[in-house]
Amino acid sequence: MAANGIKEIKRRIKSVKSTEHITNAMKLVSAAKLRRAKAIFERTNQYFGFVTESIEEIFNSNAEVPVDYLEGNREVNTSCYIVVTSSRGLCGSFNANVIKEASNMIDCDPEEPVIVAVGTKGRDFFLKKGYRIEEAYMRPPESIAFIETQEISKPIIEMYNNKEIDEVVLVYTSFVSSMEQKVKAVTLLPFAIKKNPLMPKLAKQVEYEPSVDEVFNYLVPKYVEIMIYRAIVESATCEHAARRMAMDSATDNAREMIADLTLNFNRARQSAITQEISEIVGGSEALK
């Protein structure tokens, strides 16, 4: 009996130990990937800052801009939701958080929404719930290139221009710090911008070529493309951060379990020895 128990505990220790090895390795890998993703994310942020600045500049210093993309120029009927999740699991509540936020918004929407899913986890969830997925992008997001995200963003902009959709909402995880990530929903189109009287007019006349309208009409879709690219990069950064944390606590838990099991193992072994000794002593006593 006792020998059996010892064997059982030994086997469990071994299995937990190998799990610990795996989670620990995954943690290290995620930490390295997180560092790389963060670097890309910061550069993208910089580029993004420049483009928004340019848009605001044009908007503020020119009276006339085309209104197609601006807020309040058409009734919002059909909304398009872009849901950015990961394609892999084992990253804590990362995907669950995004999906919860997105499905809350979608459930509140009276019209049938158009869903664009980035990452398999989001796609699978909405497929199961019976929604129509307009488009899905499946590759792991950390290796995505800007050109590839255009495959997602171009059709969306086209649909907006053809009035098939009237609103584009982006749901993704935003990166606060390595320890904290927050789900965010941003309306990309129509473009909400107000004249900012505080912003100084440009000191000099600016030549726009071919024309102000065309430059503006080029910039706004570009803004959408960059926003989507940025969201995917940011979400990949968060995924790694979340996975690193999940794996960290998994490793801690495994170590705790190993400590408990080792204690039990030692106890069982000790009691087996004690029992054996008392049996021997008992036997020799009986012989006297």
Partner 1 sequence: MANSFRLEVITPERLFYDGEVELVIVRTLNGDEGFMANHAWACKLLSTGELWIQEKGSREYKIAAISGGYIDVQKTIVIFTDSAEWPEEIDADRAALAKERAESSLTITEKDDLQIRLAKVAIEKALTRIHVKDGGYRRKR
Q: Which residues are near partner 1 by CB under 8 A?
A: 40, 43-44, 46-47, 50-51, 54, 58, 145-147, 150, 202, 204-210, 214-215, 218-219, 226, 229
For partner 1, give the closer residue by CB, 146 or 248.
Answer: 146
Residue 36 token pair: 């790389």
Output 2 or 40, the one with its CB closest to partner 1: 40
Q: How far is the CB of 116 from partner 1 (least distance, A)?
A: 19
**3-class SS letters over 121-160:** HHHHHHHHCCCCEEEEECCCHHHCCHHHHHHHHHHHHHHH
CB of 44 to partner 1, least distance (A): 6
147 or 179: CB nearest partner 1: 147
CB within 8 Å of 85: residues ≥ 6 apart: 94, 95, 98, 99, 117, 118, 119, 120, 121, 122, 123, 235
Shortest reach from residue 256's CB to partner 1, in Å = 42
Nearer to partner 1, 49 or 89 (CB): 49
Closest CB to partner 1 among residues 4, 46? 46
Q: What is the CA radius of gyration of the chain?
A: 29
Sequence-ordered list of residues with C-beta below 8 angstroms from that of 150, at least 6 positions apart, any chain: 225
C-beta of residue 133 within 8 angstroms of C-beta of residue 144:
no
Please, what is the minimum distance in Å from the beta carbon of residue 14 to partner 1?
Answer: 45
Least Å distance, CB 61 to partner 1, is 10
Per the listing, tokens 């848009």 go with 55
Q: Is 236 helix (H, G, I), strand (E, B) or coil?
A: helix
Work out how close the CB of 104 gets to partner 1 at its nearest, in angstroms, rounded to a whole number. 30
Torsion of CA 73, 103, 177, 230, to 10 degrees: -50
Nearer to partner 1, 104 or 208 (CB): 208
